[in-house]
Amino acid sequence: MGKRAKKKPEHGLWAKVGGLTYRCISACAHEGLPVVDGSMVRVAAGGGGLAAASGHGGGGPVKMAVWTLSGVKTSEWVWREADPPCRLLAWDWARGDWIVTVGDDGAAVVYSITGQEVARFPITHNTPAAGRPLVRAHVDAEWVIGFSATHALKTRMPALAEGGQPDKKPADSVLLAAEAQLVLSNPTMAKSATCAVVPQGVVYLFTPFCSFALFDSDAGGRPPFEPCAKAALSPGGAHIALYDAGILKVTQAADFTKVLLEEIVEDPSAQTDGTGASNPAHDKSGKPSLTPGDPLPCQYPVHDVAWCGNDAVLVSHRDASSFMHYVSIVTPKQSAALKAYRTQHLFLRAEIDGCRVLHDRGCDFVQRAGPDSVAVHRLPGSDPGLLFAAWAVHSNPANNGVNPLKMVRCIGNLSRAVTSCISAALLEFDETLQRELLKAASFGSALCPTRVDAAIVGDACADLRVLNALRHPAVGIPLTYPQFCATNRVKGVLQRLTARRRFDLALSVSEYCGTPAGRIVVDWAVSQLDVAGQNDHVLASLIKAQFKKMPGLSPMPVVAAAKRLERYALALDILEAEPCLSKRVAQTLDLGELERALAFSSDEGGDPDLILHCTLLLRDKYGPDRKSEFVRLLFGFPEAFHLYLSYSEHREAASLVDLHRSHHRYKDAAMLSLRNALDPRRNADIRSQIKALEAVRVTFAKAQEHRARTGAAGYPPFPATPQPPPFNSMGGPSHGAPSPPHPACDAEVKLIDQHVKLLQFQDEHCAPEEYQGVVPGQPLAETATFLILGGHYKLAEQLRKDQNMSEKHFWILKVRTLCRSRKFDELEKWVYGSSGFSKGVKSLKNTITKAPIGYEYFVQECMKSDRPEEAKKYVPKIADYALRCEQYCFVGAFNEAIDTAKEFSDPDLLLAIRSRTTDPTIHAKIAEVREALLKKLQPA
């Protein structure tokens, strides 16, 4: 086999019209345009595809189909198959590759490119009889216009929500001026009417008889102007092309009186008889022989009018007898023919940077050539042309001795030539030509004396790889580089690929460009729900495996889609891939799976609030009749069970007591009942508190009886939990571990009996006025204090004996109370007198009464009340003479302290007394007494 010849790069068809250079290049090819005769055909902007609707004229169903521009069918569906029969008035492509259809019932339906209905909104108004039924409609990228027999309504397209989906919120319709009644009342005019909406929101209604500018109803309208058979709005919205009766006019969109261009594009008198014998656009064999720059073929009728960018208009003429179409360019300075096509169908679609020419064998793109492309391909003597030629010589082994370096030295601005080659490569469709231009740029940058940023070439290569992947015949989206930039570059490309369900290519582009692929995975998962015949469990496993590869990605949109399809088991399985625990639990609760929500919330040491929330919902679900089942269920979730215990302690104590009793945990039930009985919020009345304590005593008795019967030292343990529950801050005990062995309940029963006696005593003595201050429920010490303050000493002594209060505690309480209430006479009578409270005598010198707490406490309390003279009375009753001397010094009685030290012949104690004062008189007396003592104690 011979060696395969290298493909020659395609430079395209060039034409210079009106001082500007235009270029027609092949964007993609296909074997045949799949269009049925009689169908309504629409071509999407940005290379989105070709759509056709067949059967719209009859009474049968309307079938719609979408192809790529490379001829591959992507989807097919029946328009509004499930709705009542209605007539399709208008449809077209909208922004975002959506297809919008309008029926005569006033409903606008938005379809995706795969045929799924994604939104629906009405074209109505609150004016009576406005909007239904419609007789004519118009759809463009921004607006939907509906015409009834009496009114015209303008509705803005829904905005795009997150993920590129249309917002399902109904749009508001605007009532237009009533000038349209002149057209809509005539069926012939209404059938042939066309519309255009300028960016200012003004609607232009064109008919072959007359035309109107329709403003909002409160702004009025304009008088009718010239008729128009075809109209085309420029991509920028600033100008409009009007064709009628063989004349093409270009005016300002805001004012039709300002005519920028007027050209005769059709001359009926020059039309041939259809044989083509005298046709200058054919050679002798009948093949097209049109040369770029030839005059317009005005002898043929105009078939279509479209803008080529914003500075030229393309006009196609059709020769129906020979299936010939002639495309011409009309500019303000010159008009000329461009190319002839032998094809049965030909469509023009305006783009922001040119115009697509779709025919039976492929799709061409006509655009104004940029200065960089012109310099590279059409001006060999320019700097970019010299650089491209130098690279061609360098890469060709048979260069005939030409030195490419000498050619490079002739370039004046090499860095600018490198940039021009890169820009020209970005505008090419042919991959071979792209590579040659980029290699020429790399060759020039290597020889450039000034540094050229290498990232420019790298970025250009990355963009071209993405564009070439889109232009592949299997994908069929022949985007140009300006369109690629206008559609938000890679982000817009990913949205278009996911809308076409080309998820494999979208993931490859996302990985190559380093952009997040989370939205692609979500859209892929949602699309899998529509695949028939898949097992839910297998599908859920497949979706979860993809989400696990992308940590942090939420499957909530997939769950919502599964819920809309009523596939609840699938939604529950997919929820396991949700990384946010709160969202997972909330969705599970929304699906009514409370047990599974509790399992989710308990995973990974979940949030206690979520666990408790699910537990309480489960409790309400089971109700009081099935409480035992609810408790058995909680045994499988230790965290939930112990949280429920802590919650019940503070909110549902009675329920928790029943739970303890049902598990023979009588002591726990008794302890909880005891706390509830002592809570004044639950038992404000003292008698109800006494009654509750009696019931607690019975529960303790049951605990003792159960211990004696079973011989168990402990109780059946609850499920263990690894850590204490988080309700301890509320004052409740921790149920974190199984209960240890409990001793007998004798101490608890004894304490309850004593407290009941105290409550009974308080209940008996709180009513009379003489016992004011005794409050039911107050502690024992406070009750005794109030009795002492009231002078009821015998009653206080009786309370001490009944409650087994220690004598020391009672003495401390009584001394503190009498001193702080400044009842020193009562205190003195109690200690020295015979008042019936303790043993004592009236004579201070003969008998010393022993207090169980000692008399130092008397002295301290008197001094705290700032009464040293009272404190001095109790110092002599201190038995230890050294401590007595210290207390004398504490109250300031230094002479008495000296006498005590002298009485017990302790000279060292005198030195301690001297250190407690700075009085020279006291120092002199201490020296005198100490000297006498030392002489007395000196041996003979």
By the 10 Å C-beta count (0-12 exposed, 13-18 middle, 19+ buried), 16 is classed as middle
The residue with greater pLDDT, 157 or 171, is 157
Residues 6+ apart with CB under 8 A from 395: 436, 439
Residue corresponding to tokens 């707490």: 853
Name the pairing type of β-strands 203-206 and 211-214: antiparallel
Cβ atoms within 10 Å of 129's Cβ, excluding its own: 10
Q: How far apart are CA 546 and CA 568, in angstroms?
A: 20
Q: How far apart are CA 429 and CA 582, in angstroms?
A: 51
Give the single-character DSSP code of 379: -
User: What is the per-residue pLDDT for 422?
Assistant: 93
Residue corresponding to tokens 């690279």: 391
Q: Is the pLDDT of residue 668 over 50?
A: yes
Most confidently modeled range among 178-187, 221-230, 524-533: 524-533
Q: How far apart are CA 338 and CA 367, in angstroms?
A: 12
Q: How far apart are CA 900 and CA 859, in angstroms?
A: 17
For residues 495 and 164, the answer to whether their CB atoms sit within 8 Å is: yes
By the 10 Å C-beta count (0-12 exposed, 13-18 middle, 19+ buried), 715 is classed as buried
Residues 6+ apart with CB under 8 A from 426: 460, 463, 464, 481
Torsion of CA 502, 508, 513, 518, to 10 degrees: 70
For residues 554 and 580, the answer to whether their CB atoms sit within 8 Å is: yes
337 forms bridges with which residues in the sheet? 328
Q: What percent of the chain has pLDDT over 90?
A: 16
The pLDDT confidence band at residue 592, using thresholds 50, 70 and 90, is confident
The residue with greater pLDDT, 730 or 49, is 49
For residues 773 and 783, the answer to whether their CB atoms sit within 8 Å is: no
Q: What digits encode the pLDDT tens for the residues 513-558?
A: 999 999 999 999 998 998 878 888 999 999 999 999 988 899 999 9
Q: How far apart are CA 365 and CA 912, in angstroms?
A: 118
Cβ atoms within 10 Å of 566's Cβ, excluding its own: 8
Phi/psi at 270 (nearest 5 deg)? -95, 5
Indicate the SS3 state at residue 927: helix
194 forms bridges with which residues in the sheet? 206
Q: In what order do the strands lie in the sheet with 107-111?
A: 88-94, 98-103, 107-111, 117-122
Strands in 149-222 per DSSP E? 152-156, 173-175, 194-197, 203-206, 211-214
Q: How far apart are CA 704 and CA 205, in angstroms?
A: 98
Closest CA to 754 of 704, 792, 803, 694: 803
User: What is the per-residue pLDDT for 540?
Assistant: 92
For residues 882 and 913, the answer to whether their CB atoms sit within 8 Å is: no
Residues 6+ apart with CB under 8 A from 199: 237, 253
Can you tell me the mean pLDDT for 412-418?
Answer: 90
Q: Is the pLDDT of residue 169 over 80?
A: no
Q: How far apart are CA 174 and CA 629, in angstroms?
A: 61
Residues 6+ apart with CB under 8 A from 185: 149
Most confidently modeled range among 6-20, 52-66, 588-602: 588-602
User: What is the per-residue pLDDT for 674?
Assistant: 74
Mean pLDDT check: name the lowest of 185-189, 381-385, 567-571: 185-189
The pLDDT confidence band at residue 131, using thresholds 50, 70 and 90, is very low
Name the pairing type of β-strands 362-368 and 354-359: antiparallel
User: What is the per-residue pLDDT for 878?
Assistant: 86
Strands in 157-269 per DSSP E? 173-175, 194-197, 203-206, 211-214, 230-233, 239-244, 247-252, 259-264
Q: How far apart are CA 374 and CA 820, in angstroms?
A: 110
Q: What digits encode the pLDDT tens for the residues 612-631?
A: 888 888 888 888 888 778 87
Indicate the SS3 state at residue 263: strand
User: What is the per-residue pLDDT for 582?
Assistant: 82
The residue with greater pLDDT, 636 or 390, is 390
Assign residue 914 a region (left: φ > 0; alpha: ψ between -120 and 50; beta: otherwise): alpha
Can you tell me the mean pLDDT for 169-174?
Answer: 65
Q: Is the pLDDT of residue 171 over 50?
A: yes
Mean pLDDT check: name the lowest of 209-218, 327-336, 377-386: 209-218
User: What is the per-residue pLDDT for 726?
Assistant: 43
The residue with greater pLDDT, 596 or 652, is 596
User: What is the per-residue pLDDT for 202?
Assistant: 76
Q: How far is CA 550 from the centre of its chain?
A: 17
Q: What digits encode the pLDDT tens for the residues 442-478?
A: 999 988 888 888 888 889 999 999 999 999 988 888 9
Most confidently modeled range among 142-146, 160-164, 501-505: 501-505
Token pair in block for residue 183: 């057209």
Q: How far apart are CA 485 and CA 745, in angstroms?
A: 84
Query: If residue 521 lies in a helix (H) or strand (E), which one and from where to where?
Result: helix 518-528
User: What is the per-residue pLDDT for 559?
Assistant: 92
Query: If residue 26 lies in a helix (H) or strand (E), which one and from where to where?
Result: strand 20-29
Residues 6+ apart with CB under 8 A from 147: 134, 135, 136, 137, 153, 180, 184, 190, 193
